Amino acid sequence: MNKRGWLALLALAGLTAFAAAPDYPPVLPGRPLSFPRDHGAHPEYRIEWWYVTGWLDTGSGEPLGFQVTFFRSRPNLAQGQPSRFAPNQLLFAHAALSDPTLGHLLHEQRSARAGFGLAEAETGDTDVHIDDWSLRRGADGPYRIRIGGREMQIDLSLKPTQPVLPQGDGGYSRKGPQAGEASYYYSQPHLEVSGTVARDGRKQGVRGTAWLDHEWSTAMLPKNAVGWDWIGINLDDGGALMAFRIRDGDGRSLWTHASHRRADGGQAAIAGKPVTLAPIRFWRSPRTGARYPVAMHFAAGGLAFDLVPLQDDQELDARSSTGNVYWEGAVTALSGGQPLGRGYMELTGYYLPLGL
Amino acid sequence: MLFSELRTHTARSAMAIVAIAIGVAMAYAVHLINESATGEFERTVRSLMGNADLEIRGTEAGFSESVYPLVARLAEVGTASPSVAVEARLSGRADPLKIVGVDVFRAAAVQPGLIGRPEGGRAGALPLLEDDAIFLSPVALRWLGAKPGDPLHVQVGLETRTLRIRGTLAATGEGLRLGVMDIGAAQSCFERLGMLQQIDLSLRPGTDAEAFRARLSRLLPAGVFVSTPAETVRRSSDLSRAYRVNLTVLALVALFTGAFLVFSSQALAVMRRRGQFALLRVLGLRQGELLRLILAEAALQGALGACLGLGLGYLVAGATLAWAGSDLGAGYFKGVAPQVHFDAAAALLFGLLGLASAVLGSVAPAVEAARASPAQALRAGDEAAAPRGLRSVAPGIVAIAAGAALSFLPPIDDVPIAGYLAIALLLTGGIALVPRLARVLFARLPDSRHVPLHLASTQLSGSPGRAAIGLAGILASFSLMVAMAIMVASFRTSFDQWLTVALPADLYLRAGSAGDTAYFSPADQRNIAATPGLQRVEFQRSLPVSLDPERPPVMLIGRSIDAADPASRLALVGTPRHPRSGEPPPVWVSEAMVDLYGYALGQQVFLPLGGRRVAVTVAGVWRDYARQQGAVVIERQDLARFTGDETANDAALWLLPGSGLAATEQWLRQRLANGDRVVYSSPGEIRARSLKIFDRSFAVTYLLEAVAIVIGLAGIAVSFGGQALARTREFGMLRHIGVSRAQIGAMLALEGALLAMLGVAAGLILGGAVALILVRVVNPQSFHWTMNMSLPWQLISTVAIVLVAASAATATWAGRRAMATGAVRAVREDW
Amino acid sequence: MLVLQGVSKTYPGAASRTVLAGIDLALASGEYVAIMGESGVGKSTLLNLIAGLERPDRGSILFDGQEISALPDDAATLLRRRAMGFVFQAFHVLPHLSVARNVALPLLLNGIGKRRMRERVAAGLAAVGLAGRGESMPRQLSGGELQRVAIARAIVHRPSLLLVDEPTGNLDSDTAGKILRLLRDQLHASGAAGILVTHSLAAARTAERILRLTPTGLEPHADSDREE
C-alpha cells in the first residue's frame, strides 16, 4: 500500500484527515474486490491512485529506478455546476527516473481536470490518461505506460507474472485505529517490464521488474498523522513484501502494517505483527533542507533486512502540481550483505508536516 | 553675440521659444498619450496571451467548446488553454469588468499571468476552482475599492449573482482591469455553457507554426480564426489607429505652426538686423560664418523650446490621462488605465523635430541675410526688402496642384496618408502664394484720400514680404480653424441627423448599461410586450462577429426591419434593393462594410452564424457613426433562426397617444422581473448623451483651433512688433511731416485689419478646400463613414471678425512704441 | 515769423543732460539761417523744439505769433503739416512708395484735391530736377536723387518754414554742393524761411546768416560777420 500520494492529495484538497463529505462513500470492510471492475476508477471516492515503481536494466549494467503515478481527486466543490469544465474530477500524474549517474531524480508532472476525452480516469478497467501520458490495462492483463515528457519519454509494457495481491483484509486496508481510517488497496507485484526509456532524445531498450499499487479511499489518515514510511519490495525468491508505518509529529508509529506473500502464493505469518522501520542513515536535501532516513532497518514477524537506496538524492519536489515534497526512491533489501530483493521506499512528511 | 541677441530681445526670443515649446509639447503629449494607451493595451493583450504561440478566437459570443478537444489533440499542440470571457455588468457600476474564465491546469503553462494568488496563502489549485471565486488584477481591485474577501455582485440577464474576491492575479499589465475565474464556474455563472471565447496554444518545439496554422485554420468552424499574439495586438491597435493618426497629425500641425512662428520671428529679426549683419560682413565675417551664426541662434532657441516642450508635453500627457483617459473619452481603450511612461526615443525625435523646425524656419532669412550685399544693406531704408524666397509663385501653384491631385488617391494601409499630404501641400502652397496675392490685391486698393488708409494700403502693397509673414500666420491659423470647424460641424450635423433616424421610438430599454452579460430573455421580452398603452415594440440583439481574423469583429444587429421600407429604421445611403424571392435573406450593411470588406449592393455574402457559413444578400447600405469597424443589420427572426439565440439587448417602445413615458417606465420597473436593473432612456437623453460624448472626443480639436488662432495672432504680434522696430524712422518722419499719433495708430490698425481680412478671406477658401478633403477623403478613409458638408457660418464669421479686430489691436499694440517720442528722435543722426 | 526766447532743454535721467541753454533766435520770413555746432551740442533737439515735437523746459517759441510749446500735440501736428517742411540727413523717403507718392504725402495730409495734387507734385519734382521720375521707386534712386525727392516733399505744400537737418551728411561733396544750391534756390523761389543745421562750414555758407550753437547759447558765427 502506497500512501505516497495521500499527503499530496489531502493537502491539495484542503482536507483534514477526518473530514469526509457526506456524499463520499465510506470505506468499509466486507466489500470484496471485483475485477476487472476494480482495476478501473472509482470516481465517487475522494482520492485514488495507480502507482507503478520498479527497477530497470538498460543493458549498460547500471540499474535505473522508475516511478509513474496517476492520481485522481474528487474535490468537494463545483457540485451541480452544469459546465463540462466543472472541476469535479482532477487528475495528476508524476513520472520520475532515478539514475545514480545523474545524482538526482529526473522528474516531470501533469495535471488536468477530467473531461473532453483529454484527461480521463475510466471506470471498468485501468484506463487513465492526461493528454499523452497514459496508463492502460489490456484485456488480457498487461499494462501499458506511455509518458511523453520534455526531458524523458517512457514507453513500457508491464506483464503480470503473479495473481493480484489484495492488501489488508481482502483489499480493505486499515490506516489507523478508527474503522473509517482505511482504503481499498491491492497490489500487482513482480510485473515483468519491457519497453523503452528515452532521455535527451536517446532511446534505450529496457527490461526490469515493477510493482503496481491501486488504492482508493475517502478519508484514511488518523488526524494526528504527519506522514508515513512505506516500502514495496519484489523479493528475489518470488515473494512480495509491503509495509508501512504512519508517523505522528514525534516520529512515533500511529499505525503499522506489513504483508508478505511467498512465491507459492501463501501468506507469511507477518500480518498483524508489529513492524519496525528504523533509520540507519540520514540524508539532508540541499534544495529543501528536509532530512530523510534514506537507509532503514526493517523487521517484522521474524523477517529482517536493511534497505539501501540506489542513490541518496531521490527527493521529488512536486510543489508546482500537487504541492508536495517527498522522497520516493529505488531501494535494495540486504541481509548480511546479501541482496534479498529490490523495490521502492517512500518517505513523506519530512519536509513539512501534514496540514500545512 | 548669440546670447546678447537673446538677452536683448528677450520678449521676441521668448515668443519663438514658446512657439517651439508649444508645438513640441503638443506633439509629444499626443504621442505619449497614444503610446501609453496602445502600449498598455499591448501589455494587456500580452499578459492575457502569455506565452501563447497562437490564439484561436471567434466572435465575442464565442464558439463551441467542441473545438477545444479537437485542437488539444493535434500532435503539434503542446498545451491548449481554453477560456471564456465576458464584459460583466456589475451592480451599480456604469463600466463593465472583463472577466476571463480559465482552466488553471492549462493556463499555468500558457498564461501564467492569469493564475490567481489566493489571499491567506492557501496552497494548491483548489482555492482557484471554487465556483464563486474571482481573482482581480490590482487595478480592478483599486477601481472597485474592494479587497480580497469582499463580495462582487454581477448582473446576469436581469439577475444578480454574487462572487467572492479570493485574491489577486499574479502578473497582469499594470493598467489592466480584469477578473479571473475558473472556466467551469464562469461558463455556469454567466450562462455561457458550451461556449469558449478563445483558445491559446503553445506549440511543441520544432513545429512549423505557419504550416500548422494553415492546417489548423482548415479544421476550424466558420467564423473561428487563428492568429498570432502580434496580430492580436495589431488588430486591437487598428481599432484606434485612425483616431490616433488623426491626433498625431493635429499635433504635427501644432509643431508646424510653431515652426512657422519661429520663421516669422527670425525673418523679422534678420530684416531688422541687416545693418548689424552688414557691418559684421564689412568687418570680415564670411558669408558662411554669418549663416552659421544666425542658424546657431535659431538652434539655441529651438533647443530651449524643445526642452521646455518635452517637459510640458510630459506633464500635459499625464494630466490628460488622469483627466480624460487615454482615448480622450472616445472609448477605444475600455478597461485600461494607462500611465505615462517617459519615452526617451520619442523625446529625442520630437526634440530634434522642434530643433529642426526652428533651424529650418531660419534658413531662408539667414541665407537672405548672408547673401545680401553689405554695401546695399548698410543703406538706410533697405530694411523693407522682402526675403527672396517669398517671391516666386511657381512652387505654390505646383504644391496646390499636387495637393489637389493627391486628394484623389486611396488610403495606404487604411490610413489616409495621401489626404494628409494633400492638406499639407494645399496649406504650404496657399501660404507660398499669399505674398503675391497680397501685392496684387493691395496694389488694386482704391487710392484713398484718407491718410491712414492710404499709408496702410501703400505700405501693404509696397512691402509684400513684410506683410507676408503676418499674413501667412493669419492664413495658416484661420484656414486650419475653418477646416476643423467645418469638419466638426459637418460631422456633428450629420451625426445629429443620424441620431434622429436611429432613434425613432419613444422609449428605449437596455438590459444593462454596460457589458455583454445583461440581456432580455424571451420571457422578459413577452413581459415588455405586454406593457399597457403600447403601440409597438421592437427588440434588438447585437453580437460581434469576426469576418476576417486580421480585423476587429463587426457588429451583427438583429432587429425588426421592414424589407420594403428599411429607410424607416436605417440612415440609408443610396437606394435600397428590393429583395427578390428565392434569394438568401436580406441584410443591410454599414458603409464600413463596403470599404473594408468590399460588400456591394445585391451581392451575396456569407456570415458565420451558429458555427456555419450562412448566405445573405446585401440589400442596402446605411450610415453608421457608432461602429467604425462595420455593422450588419439582419431581420431579427432570421438571426434567431440561424443562431438559436432568442435573447435581446435592447428594446424600443412606441407608446399609444395618451400613455405617459413616466407611467410606462414605472409600470415596467414594477412588473418586469428585476425591472430596476433595466436602463430606461428617452431618445432625447440618448441624443444628449451621444452629443456630449461627441463633443468630448472632439474637445481636442477645439483646443487646437484655439491654439491655431493664438499662434496666428502671435504671428501678427511678432510681425508688427518687428516692423515697428524696423519702421521707427518711418513713423518718426511721418510725425515730422504732420501725421498725428492717432493717424499712425489708425494706420497700423488698418494694416493689421487689412492683412487679417485678406488672410481670413484666403483662409476661408483654403480652409474650405482643406475641409473638403477632411470630409470627403480623410474621414471616409479613416473611419469608413461619410457625412454631409455643413458650414458653421456663425462660428466662422464670429472668429473672422474677432480675428480681424484682434489683429488690428495687436498691430496697434505692437506699434505703440512708434508713437512714443523716441520715434521722433530716430530720424535724427545726432542730438 | 519765428522767435525763440531763453529756450532751455534738459533730458531727464540718471545722467541728466542739458542740451540747450538760453537759446534766443529770431527768424524773419524768407530768411535762411544756418546753425553750426559740434556733434551732440543739441542741433537736432533745437529743430524738434521748433517743430513742436518736443517741449522746452524753459523759454518760449513763437511761430507766427503762436506759442508752439503751449500747443497740444494735435495742434502742433496740424501746424507742422501746414506750415513746415523737413529735410533729413538720412532722406527718410518711404521705400514702398513711388517717388511721386512720397512727394504727395504732405499734400494728402493737407487735403489737397487730386488734380491739384498731381500738378503740384509734378511741379515739385521738376523743381528738384526729377521731372518724369515720379513713378520710380526709391530703391532705383541714388542718394542725391533721394535727397532731391525729400526736398520736393519738404516744399510741395508751400510751407512757411523749412527745417533742414544736415542734408548732405550722406552725400559726396559734389552732390552735396548741388543739393545745397537746390535748397537755397527752392527756398528763395517759395519765399519760405529756412533753418539749416549742419556742422559743415561749406554747407553753412550757402545760408544768408550763420549762427553757432554752443553749450551756452546761440552766437553769431565770426566768419559770417566777416563775410557780411
Report if residue A199 sits inside a domain. Answer: yes
Say whether B395 sits in a helix, a strand or coil: helix
Residue indicated by cell numbers 499574479: B170
Identify whether residues B733 and B770 lie together within a single domain.
Answer: yes
Residues 6+ apart with CB under 8 A from A76: A13, A15, A21, A46
What cell does B237 get?
Answer: 491597435
What cell does B243 get?
Answer: 483616431
Report if residue B399 sits inside a domain. Answer: no
Say whether C159 sits in a helix, a strand or coil: coil
Give A15 to chain B, closest Cα distance, Å: 11
User: Could you write out the DSSP letters of every residue in C17-83?
Assistant: EEEEEEEEEEE-TT-EEEEEE-TTSSHHHHHHHHTTSS--SEEEEEETTEEGGGS-HHHHHHHHHHH
The CA–CA distances, whole Å, from B375 to B37, B283, B723, B829, C66 equal 59, 12, 22, 19, 45
Which residues of C are less than 8 Å from B751 in CB distance?
Answer: none
Say whether A164 sits in a helix, a strand or coil: coil
Alpha-carbon gap, residue A232 to A246, rounded angstroms: 15
pLDDT tens digit string along B496-546? 888 888 888 888 888 765 456 677 888 888 888 888 888 889 998 888 788
User: Could you write out the DSSP letters of every residue in B471-486?
Assistant: HHHHHHHHHHHHHHHH
Q: What is the pLDDT along chain C (228 residues), one digit of tens a residue?
A: 899 999 998 887 666 777 888 889 999 998 999 999 887 778 888 888 898 888 898 899 999 888 988 888 888 888 999 999 999 888 888 888 889 989 999 998 898 888 999 999 999 999 888 988 999 988 888 888 998 999 999 989 999 999 998 888 778 888 888 889 988 998 888 889 999 998 888 888 999 999 998 888 888 887 644 443
Identify whether residues B244 and B218 lie together within a single domain.
Answer: no
pLDDT tens digit string along A316-350? 887 766 667 899 999 999 998 899 999 999 999 88
- Yes or no, beta carbons of A85 and B194 under 8 Å apart: no
In this predicted structure, the answer to whether residue A9 has a pLDDT above a threshold of 70 is no
- Yes or no, beta carbons of C101 and B458 under 8 Å apart: yes
Alpha-carbon gap, residue B29 to B313, rounded angstroms: 4
Show which of residues 36-75 on chain B sit within 8 Å of chain A, judged by CB atoms: 65, 68-69, 72-73
The pLDDT assigned to A120 comes to 95
In this predicted structure, the answer to whether residue A32 has a pLDDT above a threshold of 80 is yes
Report if residue B788 sits inside a domain. Answer: yes
Alpha-carbon gap, residue A2 to B713, rounded angstroms: 89
Going by pLDDT thresholds of 50, 70 and 90, the confidence category of residue B49 is low
Identify whether residues B458 and B495 lie together within a single domain.
Answer: yes
Report if residue B128 sits inside a domain. Answer: yes
Is the previous residue joined to A36 through a cis bond, with omega within 30 degrees of 0?
yes
First vs last Cα of chain A: how many Å apart?
24
Q: What's the residue count for chain C?
A: 228
Residues 6+ apart with CB under 8 A from B18: B305, B308
Q: Which of A47, A72, A83, A325 to mutate to test the interface with B (most CBs of B within 10 A)?
A: A83
Residues 6+ apart with CB under 8 A from C13: none
A139–chain B Cβ distance below 8 A for any pair: no
By the 8 A CB rule, do C1 and C64 touch?
yes
Number of other CB atoms surrounding residue B644 within 10 Å: 9
Report if residue A335 sits inside a domain. Answer: yes
- Yes or no, beta carbons of B73 and A118 under 8 Å apart: yes
What cell does B735 get?
Answer: 510725425
Identify whether residues B446 and B364 lie together within a single domain.
Answer: no
The pLDDT assigned to B365 comes to 73
> Helix/strand/coil (H, E, C) string of B113-172?
HHCEEECCCCCCCHHHHCCCEEEECHHHHHHHCCCCCCEEEEEECCEEEEEEEEEEECCC
Going by pLDDT thresholds of 50, 70 and 90, the confidence category of residue A127 is very high
Give ∠ CA C172-C178-C183 in degrees, rounded to 5.
120
Report if residue A6 sits inside a domain. Answer: no
Alpha-carbon gap, residue B704 to B699, rounded angstroms: 9
pLDDT: which is higher, B432 or A230: A230
Burial grade of B570 (CB within 10 A; 0-12, 13-18, 19 or more): buried
Provide the number of structural domains found in chain B: 4
Which residues of C are less than 8 Å from B739 in CB distance?
Answer: 77, 81, 109
Identify whether residues B750 and B809 lie together within a single domain.
Answer: yes
The pLDDT assigned to C224 comes to 47
User: Could you write out the DSSP letters of every residue in B313-341?
Assistant: HHHHHHHHHHHHTTTTTS-SSTTB-----
Which residues of B are less than 8 Å from A14 in CB distance?
Answer: 122, 124, 126-127
In this predicted structure, the answer to whether residue B43 has a pLDDT above a threshold of 70 is no
Report if residue A356 sits inside a domain. Answer: no
In this predicted structure, the answer to whether residue B264 has a pLDDT above a threshold of 50 is yes
Identify whether residues B624 and B756 lie together within a single domain.
Answer: no
Nearest residue, CB atoms, C95 vs list B384, B738, B821: B384
- Yes or no, beta carbons of C96 and B380 under 8 Å apart: no
Burial grade of C180 (CB within 10 A; 0-12, 13-18, 19 or more): buried
Report if residue A24 sits inside a domain. Answer: no
Sheet architecture: strand order including C84-87: C84-87, C161-165, C193-198, C32-37, C209-214, C217-220
Domain boundary among B187, B205, B227: B227
Which residues of B are less than 8 Å from A131 in CB distance?
Answer: 72
Alpha-carbon gap, residue B300 to B636, rounded angstroms: 66
**Taking the model in full, what pTM does it have?**
0.67
Give A46 to chain B, closest Cα distance, Å: 14
- Yes or no, beta carbons of A83 and B122 under 8 Å apart: no
The CA–CA distances, whole Å, from B468 to B397, B465, B758 equal 17, 5, 11
Report if residue A187 sits inside a domain. Answer: yes
Identify whether residues B715 and B794 lie together within a single domain.
Answer: yes
Q: Which of C77, C115, C116, C171 to mutate to test the interface with B (most CBs of B within 10 A)?
A: C77
Provide the number of structural domains found in chain A: 1
Residue indicated by cell numbers 524768407: C30
What is the rounded average pLDDT of the residues A35-52?
Answer: 93
What is the rounded average pLDDT of the residues B373-379?
Answer: 57
Say whether C177 sits in a helix, a strand or coil: helix
Checking phi first, is residue A284 left (phi over 0); if not, alpha (psi -120 to 50) or beta? beta
Nearest residue, CB atoms, B730 vs list C94, C169, C170: C94
Identify whether residues B269 and B365 lie together within a single domain.
Answer: yes
Q: What is the largest CA-CA distance in chain C?
A: 53
Alpha-carbon gap, residue B74 to C85, rounded angstroms: 105
By the 8 A CB rule, do B334 and B176 touch?
no
Going by pLDDT thresholds of 50, 70 and 90, the confidence category of residue B272 is low
Domain boundary among B173, B208, B227: B227
B127–chain A Cβ distance below 8 A for any pair: yes
The pLDDT assigned to C161 comes to 94
Chain B interface, Cβ < 8 Å to C: 379-382, 384-385, 449, 451, 454, 458-459, 461-463, 729-730, 732-742, 821, 824-825, 827-831
By the 8 A CB rule, do C217 and C20 touch?
no
Q: Which of B104, B182, B199, B201 to mutate to test the interface with A (most CBs of A within 10 A)?
A: B182
A82–chain B Cβ distance below 8 A for any pair: yes
- Yes or no, beta carbons of B463 and C95 under 8 Å apart: yes
By the 8 A CB rule, do C155 and C103 touch?
no
Report if residue B402 sits inside a domain. Answer: no
Alpha-carbon gap, residue A120 to B773, rounded angstroms: 64
- Yes or no, beta carbons of A116 and B72 under 8 Å apart: yes
Which residues of A are less than 8 Å from B102 in CB distance?
Answer: none
What cell does B382 get?
Answer: 533697405
Report if residue A3 sits inside a domain. Answer: no
Domain that holds residue A259: 35-80+89-347
What cell does A18 get?
Answer: 477526518
Identify whether residues B83 and B135 lie together within a single domain.
Answer: yes
Residue of B nearest to A14 (CA): B126
Touching, C vs A (3+ Cβ pairs under 8 A): no
Mark out the alpha helices in B407-463 (DSSP H runs).
417-443, 451-462
- According to DSSP, the β-strands at B612-622 and B586-590 are parallel
- Look at the alpha carbons of B387, B391, B394, B400 in this order and tell me if their dihedral is positive or negative: positive
Report if residue B397 sits inside a domain. Answer: no
Which residues of B are less than 8 Å from A83 in CB distance?
Answer: 183-185, 187-188, 193
Q: What is the CA radius of gyration of chain C?
A: 17
B736–chain A Cβ distance below 8 A for any pair: no
A240 forms beta bridges with A234, A261
Identify whether residues B116 and B187 lie together within a single domain.
Answer: yes
pLDDT tens digit string along B618-663? 999 998 887 778 899 999 988 888 888 888 888 889 988 888 888 8
Identify whether residues B209 and B331 lie together within a single domain.
Answer: no
- According to DSSP, the β-strands at C17-27 and C2-11 are antiparallel
Neighbours of chain B (3+ CB pairs under 8 A): A, C
Report if residue A230 sits inside a domain. Answer: yes
What cell does B188 get?
Answer: 455556469
- Yes or no, beta carbons of B830 and C106 under 8 Å apart: no
Report if residue B721 sits inside a domain. Answer: yes
By the 8 A CB rule, do A89 and A116 touch?
no
Number of other CB atoms surrounding residue A286 within 10 Å: 9
The CA–CA distances, whole Å, from B364 to B18, B391, B610 equal 21, 12, 66
Alpha-carbon gap, residue A140 to A127, rounded angstroms: 14
- Yes or no, beta carbons of B737 and C169 under 8 Å apart: no
A201–chain B Cβ distance below 8 A for any pair: no
Identify whether residues B374 and B518 lie together within a single domain.
Answer: no
Report if residue B394 sits inside a domain. Answer: no
Phi then psi dihedrals of residue A250, to 5 deg: -95, 5
Q: Which CATH number is A189's domain given?
A: 2.40.370.10
pLDDT: which is higher, B59 or B787: B787
Report if residue B385 sits inside a domain. Answer: no
Domain that holds residue B123: 54-227
A vs B, Cβ pairs < 8 A, gives 77
- Yes or no, beta carbons of B831 and C41 under 8 Å apart: yes
ipTM over 0.85: yes
- According to DSSP, the β-strands at C84-87 and C161-165 are parallel
